Amino acid sequence: MRISFVHTKGGVGKTTSSIFLATAAARRGIVVELFDADPQGSAMRWAEIADHNDDPLEFATEPINAKKLQSLKKTDGWQIIDTPPGSAAEIQAAIDTADLVIVPTHPAPLDIDRVWPTLETLTHKNAAVLLIGVHERRRLYQETRDVFEDQGIQTFASFVPEREDIKATFGTNPHELYTFDEICEEILGIEEMF
């Protein structure tokens, strides 16, 4: 299965979610490859630091560009694609090639306003919003879910909490998976419907 994390807005948690989901899947015995389509190379850098500290990630990481994405061979495992923000050709290529597009979004009005252009490019794709950076007080979370439901946009039942210690995992092999194992399970359910 090929899963792309996409949002034209920067800093929404695409790279962090890619690494955590890949780790959760690998720990379930799925063969995972993470492709870094962001020229900034944040996912590659994460893997490099983890290697350097003898705390390696549990899956392969590889840089990729739009052209290579177009001819990427399918495997029996999961191929997760982390994309850059903005309007790079890599984003469209990652959308076109994906079986599932995940759009990480913060549950806040400004962020919801910024997500529509991305969702409009996904009308013919299997896509779901992943609410990320959710605070303990969940009023905005529930309101955000309602907004997406009203618009017929699929959202993950699980959300990613806002946690300082998630920030500190950059460059490490995450020990704790937070809610990513549940998110992984939801995706396995989607995969079964194929």
Ligand X SMILES: Nc1ncnc2c1ncn2[C@@H]1O[C@H](COP(=O)(O)OP(=O)(O)OP(=O)(O)O)[C@@H](O)[C@H]1O
Residues that bind ligand X (CB under 6 A): 10-16, 38, 42, 85, 132-133, 160, 162-163, 166-167, 170
- Of residues 15, 97, 173, 179, which one binds Mg ion by CB under 5 A? 15
**Closest to 27 measured CA to CA, from 184, 189, 132, 192:** 184
Q: State which residue, 2 or 104, has the beta carbon closest to ligand X.
A: 104
Residue 159 DSSP symbol: -
| CA–CA dist 119, 155 (Å, integer) | 12
Burial class (CB in 10 A: 0-12, 13-18, 19+), 190: middle
Per DSSP, the three-state class of 23 is helix
Lay out the site mask for Mg ion across 17-56 (x = CB under 5 A, - = otherwise).
Answer: -------------------------x--------------
Residue 74 DSSP symbol: P
Q: State which residue, 4 or 16, has the beta carbon closest to ligand X.
A: 16
Residue 41: contacted member of Mg ion, ligand X, none (CB under 5 to 8 Å, by partner type)? none
Q: Does residue 2 belong to the site contacting Mg ion (CB under 5 A)?
A: no
| CA–CA dist 56, 125 (Å, integer) | 33
| CA–CA dist 172, 102 (Å, integer) | 23
Please state the closest distance from residue 14 (CB atom) to ligand X, in A.
4
Q: Does residue 8 belong to the site contacting Mg ion (CB under 5 A)?
A: no
| CA–CA dist 23, 60 (Å, integer) | 10
Please state the closest distance from residue 80 (CB atom) to ligand X, in A.
13
Q: Does residue 14 belong to the site contacting Mg ion (CB under 5 A)?
A: yes
| CA–CA dist 140, 20 (Å, integer) | 24
Q: State which residue, 62 or 191, has the beta carbon closest to ligand X.
A: 62
Per DSSP, the three-state class of 130 is strand
Q: State which residue, 25 or 160, has the beta carbon closest to ligand X.
A: 160
Q: State which residue, 104 or 107, has the beta carbon closest to Mg ion.
A: 104
Q: Does residue 169 belong to the site contacting Mg ion (CB under 5 A)?
A: no
Q: Which residues lie near Mg ion (CB under 5 A)?
A: 14-15, 42
